[in-house]
Amino acid sequence: MTDASASEQAICDDGTDGTAFLKVLVTVIRSDDAFGGHETQSDVDLLAPFVLSRGERRPLAVCGAPDRLAARRVEQFYQAVAIVVERKTGLMASSMTSLHQEGFGRAIVIVGKLVAHTKTLRDAHRFGFDQMAALALAGSHAVAQALSVIQQYPDVARA
């Protein structure tokens, strides 16, 4: 195990809210695996496609529709946000993503009749984070935003 992967493994096991998000994201990824291809892969290996350095993102074409795997990563990320919100609130949460052919779109997390989190997406072709810690932070930040909105409008969330 390299130093980079050892540190990523430590991030996945540090017990923070970011860790909870990463564990749910891994669960979402594994649930999409109907044929057992991910059974032998570690959690860090499954999260690796979400980690793209700026240098790795730069050559990715932004013309045309995002490839199926890039679009799926966006969907999985927001599904994980919805699941963590649901676990923390006990209220049913769901996510929806809509991507246009140019890679622009929107992701939302809905709780009851409340849009608890919304994010405008740009360059979905290049969706990713510089480090595993940035992925965990972005996920826990999205969850925190959704929880804050739910606290402000609890009746709408329960409707």
Query: pLDDT at position 69, please?
Result: 86
Q: What is the number of structural domains in the chain?
A: 1
Could you tell me which residue, 84 or 5, shows the higher pLDDT? 84
**What mean pLDDT value characterizes the chain?**
85
Element (H, E) at 94: strand 93-99
Residue 134 vs residues 18, 21, 47, 137, 159: alpha-carbon distances, Å: 9, 12, 12, 5, 34
CA distances from 120 to 18, 32, 72, 114, 117 (A): 22, 24, 16, 17, 10
Domain limits for position 69: 3-158
DSSP label at residue 117 = E
What's the CATH code of the domain at 35? 1.10.3100.20
Q: What is the pLDDT of residues 66-108, one digit of tens each?
A: 778 888 999 999 999 999 999 999 999 999 999 888 778 999 9
pLDDT in tens, 32-63: 888 887 788 889 999 999 998 877 766 766 66
pTM over 0.75, yes/no: yes
